[in-house]
Amino acid sequence: MPGSLRDVVFVDGVRTPFGKAGQQGIYAQTRADDLVVKCIRELLRRHPGLPPERVDEVAVAATTQIGDQGLTIGRMAALLAGLPKSVPGFAVDRMCAGAMTAVTTTASGIASGAYDVVIAGGVEHMGHHPMGEGVDPNPRIVAERLVDTSALVMGQTAENVHDRFPQLTKDRCDAYAVASQRKLAEAYAAGRIQRDLVPVATRSQEQGWGLATSDEPPRPGTTLDDLAGLKTPFRPHGRVTAGNAAGLNDGATACLLVAGETATELGLTPRMRMVGYAFAGVEPEVMGVGPIPATQKALARAGLTIDDIGLFEVNEAFAVQVLAFLDHFGIADDDPRVNPDGGAIALGHPLASSGVRLMTQLARHFEDHPEVRYGLTTMCIGIGMGGTVIWENPNHADYRKEQLAA
């Protein structure tokens, strides 16, 4: 019916194993676009009842849109994945929230009736394209003091968050980082992470062909003592280290979003329903606090409060920004609702891909926790922003009652 909004549901999400950026990383000789192609093909393989021609759009994010991440990567990935040439595609850039923005943008199209089925995701090959490659910031941004020079270096913005909130000590950040590594190791041992991974064939001139089946960055068994003596590269005697921040990584993600009525038509099972989303700007010098106003805005628009949220997937770009978020909302550092299977400090953060990784993990948590009705995915974004998406659990009794009543 014209003028009415449709439900948007998350059907499935997948990702490649995340690798370490650099010449020794598993994807050093693998193309970025091939990583996202693997994800798209896996989604189609997992859902044989979805006719490929029913895909209305492919939105793929990349922060550095040059080389093997350029040339309108959404369209190129669609063609390379074997989708019909009638399926269009586009590229997205909102730095760390690229894949999140690919999801929210196409979801709005589904809600308004422009699309029925979309594939959205992101890729970042930081080994091929270091952060800031080819960037030429307008000199006025600093000369006219629109931002402090530290706003352009993400690690320095994290140190600035430490300055603003002295209670967010390095000890707290290191303890949070150790917990992230431990939770991920437990999730791997239980087989929870492997369900979302797409094996990727890799090539090395030195070692020949290989197969990536697990994440490369994790350091299981990390202790506080291991982190205590690490260097602070962004400030002498600082608090941000390689141990309590996400690394430089390569990887890709993709998810399948459809209209609620289309899911019923095609026999696709919703794993989450989008409730709403919001993006917000903050001072670029403290970009890590971005998830706070974004979450406040998203909750207000949805008519919910933080107490309604039973599960949180918070991107761990830096431990300090996660702790700033938790402190603001009165949530304990070790609250079991937060990143139950660990986060980017352990897994890695291939910039534009991470938003869908958060969503895929939340969908898994919903399956394990039918008592939880609402969850959210949130992340800080470079140049001073935050993004939050609120999701509803289809396994919750109230959701099921409402669907039957409808």
Catalytic machinery residues: 96, 349, 380
Angle at CA of residue 391, ends 385 and 394, nearest 5°:
170
Helix or strand or coil: residue 241?
coil
**Does residue 154 contact residue 288 with C-beta atoms inside 8 Å?**
no
DSSP 8-state code for residue 340: T
Between CA 326 and CA 256 the distance in angstroms is: 30
Selection from 49, 246, 55, 79 nearest residue 155 by Cα: 246
Rounded-to-integer distance, Cα 343 and Cα 348, Å: 8
Contact in structure between 117 and 10 (CB atoms under 8 Å) = no
What are the residues facing 89 on neighbouring strands?
A: 58
Q: Which H or E element spans position 346?
A: helix 344-347
- Determine how β-strand 249-259 pairs with β-strand 374-381: unpaired
Do 236 and 91 meet the contact criterion of CB atoms below 8 Å apart? no
Helix (H) or strand (E) holding 275: strand 272-281
Pairing of strands 249-259, 8-15: antiparallel
As given in the structure block, the two tokens for residue 244 are 């309590």
For residue 293, what are the CA distances in angstroms to 52, 321, 391? 38, 13, 17
SS3 state at 376: strand
d(CA 13, CA 47): 11
